[in-house]
Amino acid sequence: DAGVIQSPRHEVTEMGQEVTLRCKPISGHDYLFWYRQTMMRGLELLIYFNNNVPIDDSGMPEDRFSAKMPNASFSTLKIQPSEPRDSAVYFCASSLWGASYEQYFGPGTRLTVT
């Protein structure tokens, strides 16, 4: 299995620019999660999808953040406009309903906003 794939692995951008993070879940998984991790706040769930439908976006910090899942094999997390406080590692994870809820994480995207 290829595992969860994320791109880019690293992103450095200037404040005010649009940032798009991409994720390809494990084939056959029906849940997809976006997390953000910082030293101060730990691992935070931003949003998750079930069968491509957003279920809970209460963790999305503000309107500058948006996420889509147009099909079962692709999701994006967009930040527009980006701010320095958005600097973090963003993880995508996927899981299969009924498989004890184990989530498989991608390698993450390390975002730096200057």
Partner 1 sequence: RKEVEQDPGPFNVPEGATVAFNCTYSNSASQSFFWYRQDCRKEPKLLMSVYSSGNEDGRFTAQLNRASQYISLLIRDSKLSDSATYLCVVNGKNQGGKLIFGQGTELSVKP
| CB contact at 8 A, 23 and 4 | yes
Half-sphere exposure of 62 (CA within 13 A, CB side): 8
54 binds partner 1 (CB under 8 A): no
Question: Quick one: which of 53, 70, 71, 100 contacts partner 1 (CB under 8 A)?
Answer: 100
85 burial level (CB within 10 Å; 0-12, 13-18, 19+): exposed
Q: Using only C-alpha atoms, what is the Rg of the chain? A: 13
Pick one of 13, 20, 50, 52: the residue that binds partner 1 (CB under 8 A).
Answer: 50
* Contact assessment for residue 52 and residue 71, using Cβ atoms and an 8 Å cutoff: yes
Nearest residue to 66 (alpha-carbon basis) of 89, 85, 86: 86
Our finding on whether 5 is near partner 1 (CB under 8 A) is no
Nearer to partner 1, 33 or 65 (CB): 33
Under the binding rule (CB under 8 A), the answer on residue 74 touching partner 1 is no
Instruction: Give me the least distance between CB of 2 and partner 1, in Å please.
Output: 14
Number of shown-chain residues binding partner 1 (CB under 8 A): 21
Contact residues toward partner 1 (CB under 8 A) are 31, 33, 42-43, 45, 48, 50, 55-56, 91, 95, 97, 100-108
